[in-house]
Amino acid sequence: MPLSSPKRVSFIQQLFNSRFRIITSGDAADNDDFNLLDFQHYQESPDVKKKRLELIEEVENENILEEGVINPPKENPNKILSNILEDYVGLKEPIAFVSKISNPYRNLAIEDHIFNQMPVPKDQGSNYNRLIFYTNSPCVVIGKNQNPWKEVNVPLLNSLHIPLVRRKSGGGTVVHDGGNVNYSFMTTKNNFDRYTFAKIIRDGVNKYEGSKYRLEVNERGDITTEKQQDDVCYKISGSAYKLAKGKSYHHGTMLLNLRLDILKQLLHRDEAKLGIVDAMASVGSVKSKVTNFEMENDKFIELVTNEFQSIYGKPIDYGEQSDPDEYDQNELFGLTDFVEANALNKTTKVIIIDDDTTLPEYVYETESQLKEWDWKFGGTPRFSHKLMNEKFGFEILFKVDKRAIVREMELTFLPNDLRILSEDKIKQSFEFLQNMISKGEMKYKGSELAGFITNDMISDWLGESIDGTS
């Protein structure tokens, strides 16, 4: 007999009726013998009635394979496929957003828009917190105040056609692909704490018995594994933060099944080939040993969303009581714990964003800005870049100002009796470039600088060394 057959539903109804409904069968004296006379006057409260109907519905909708018939599973009633993003970003309640879009620039633009539109509660008792998840196509993301020439192997990045993304928050450099999930937790500035959401992730994931590692939060707010046999707590997620307009967000990248071999190559710079970058005003990345958590993306999103909901979700409204004294019988019949347990349940809307979702113009404008060279590279604080060419026996030092404008170039010759060009010939090769730099308009692009060098071999070498172009 299928578990969802009418007989089983009837049994559930009978079981519930025997506990929570009026008992009319039998003689009154029999009822009195079992102290049930008072119970027949019990009136079912909305809380109990809702629970009874939910239990019956749950049985009817069980996903059972029986005699070739599959009953479809129930959809999460809180999960909403968003047709228009603007319908949800301003709601005065806690909300989770899951983006199915893989464009890294667009996801950051969506995150920025949700942050800007999140309302700020007027009282401490309310929360309009936001939780966002997204998974990007392969890219490298640097912090707002970082130097890409120092943090990333830019020539390799360009040769693989992997985009560089500069976010609007601080923090270090990370590699994204389909094997990690990016998260963003938004709350008020007053409630900002760099550890709070990291601990929410830790607690939510540690409840799952199928996890490969138990997680910890270190003194920097990074999420790590517990100490392993080699005495190392491996980093699984780093964080970055932004505080503005009375609001704050904490976002990061969770390494689940990332190609760590690719990560190491993209973030490794051979200074003998790519030069030495002195990024005086930039923020460097903190080097850590990392590993994958080896959890499916959807499972991670589910666990963290559940933890977010349990802390910040809205209490479920089971209906208002028309008479304050009407349901005091809950206590009389020992149902107080049952009712309170269900009254403490919480809910949160989960908004799904995909390629069919209508996005505001602001998102597309921000996406375009994030793609621009002037933001990705031009946003770098002033720095210097020294390149050495052993074949020609010289060093060249570029001093680069804000907006990545080359301010000065210094050419120095090294002791080398085997150079294939004379010093005079090499100097002549750089004269045109030196003249263009003096005008104060030369951007630090490999192709532009190389284009003003008259010797083809030096031109190709310089462009390749700066960013892989020539």
Q: How many domains does the chain have?
A: 3
Per-residue pLDDT reduced to its tens digit, 96-115: 999 999 999 999 999 999 99
Contacts of residue 125, Cβ cutoff 8 Å, sequence gap at least 6: none
- Note down the domain range covering 58: 6-74+316-347
pLDDT of the residue at 332: 52
Asked if residue 1 is part of any domain, the answer here is no
Same domain, 95 and 57: no
Per-residue pLDDT reduced to its tens digit, 34-43: 343 443 444 5
Contacts of residue 381, Cβ cutoff 8 Å, sequence gap at least 6: 145, 147, 279, 280, 281, 282, 402
Q: Which of 376, 209, 235 is nearest to 292 (CA)?
A: 235
Q: Which of 39, 15, 16, 13 is nearest to 26 (CA)?
A: 39
Task: Please give the torsion angle defined by the CA atoms of residues 140, 144, 148 and 152, in that order, rounded to the nearest 10 degrees.
Answer: -40
The average pLDDT across 117-145 equals 95
Rounded-to-integer distance, Cα 398 and Cα 383, Å: 9
Contact present, 372 and 136 (Cβ < 8 Å):
no
Under the banding of pLDDT at 50, 70 and 90, the label for residue 286 is: confident
Q: Locate tokens 């959401």: which residue?
A: 197
Residue ranges with strand state E in 192-234 = 215-217, 223-225
Contacts of residue 244, Cβ cutoff 8 Å, sequence gap at least 6: none
Same domain, 141 and 207: yes
CATH of the domain at 410: 3.30.390
Same domain, 250 and 138: yes
Same domain, 38 and 121: no
Tokens encoding 90 = 């301003």
Same domain, 92 and 60: no
Rounded-to-integer distance, Cα 130 and Cα 115, Å: 8
Asked if residue 206 is part of any domain, the answer here is yes
Same domain, 151 and 225: yes
DSSP conformation class of 420: S
Tokens encoding 405 = 């404008």
Contact present, 292 and 255 (Cβ < 8 Å):
yes
Contact present, 437 and 453 (Cβ < 8 Å):
no
Same domain, 117 and 195: yes
Asked if residue 264 is part of any domain, the answer here is yes
Same domain, 238 and 272: yes
**Is the confidence at residue 11, as pLDDT, over 80?**
no
| Residue 12 burial (C-beta neighbours within 10 Å; 0-12, 13-18, 19+) | middle
pLDDT of the residue at 315: 87
Rounded-to-integer distance, Cα 343 and Cα 341, Å: 6
| Gyration radius from the chain CA atoms | 31
Q: Locate tokens 């939910």: which residue?
A: 54
Same domain, 181 and 133: yes
Asked if residue 282 is part of any domain, the answer here is yes
Same domain, 308 and 322: no
CATH of the domain at 94: 3.30.930.10
Per-residue pLDDT reduced to its tens digit, 293-332: 999 999 999 999 999 999 999 987 755 444 444 445 445 5
**Is the confidence at residue 468, as pLDDT, over 70?**
yes
From 357, 376, 395, give the residue that closes a domain. Answer: 376
Per-residue pLDDT reduced to its tens digit, 251-278: 999 999 999 999 899 999 999 999 999 9
Same domain, 147 and 268: yes
For the four alpha carbons of 45, 50, 51 and 57, in that order, the dihedral sign comes to positive
Same domain, 288 and 420: no
Kind of pairing, strands 69-70 and 65-66? antiparallel
Q: Locate tokens 């360009």: which residue?
A: 158
Kind of pairing, strands 139-142 and 164-166? parallel
Tokens encoding 180 = 């990690």
From 356, 376, 396, give the residue that closes a domain. Answer: 376
Asked if residue 431 is part of any domain, the answer here is yes
Rounded-to-integer distance, Cα 301 and Cα 305, Å: 6
pLDDT of the residue at 52: 57
Asked if residue 18 is part of any domain, the answer here is yes
**Is the confidence at residue 357, as pLDDT, over 90?**
yes
Asked if residue 332 is part of any domain, the answer here is yes
For the four alpha carbons of 61, 66, 69 and 75, in that order, the dihedral sign comes to positive
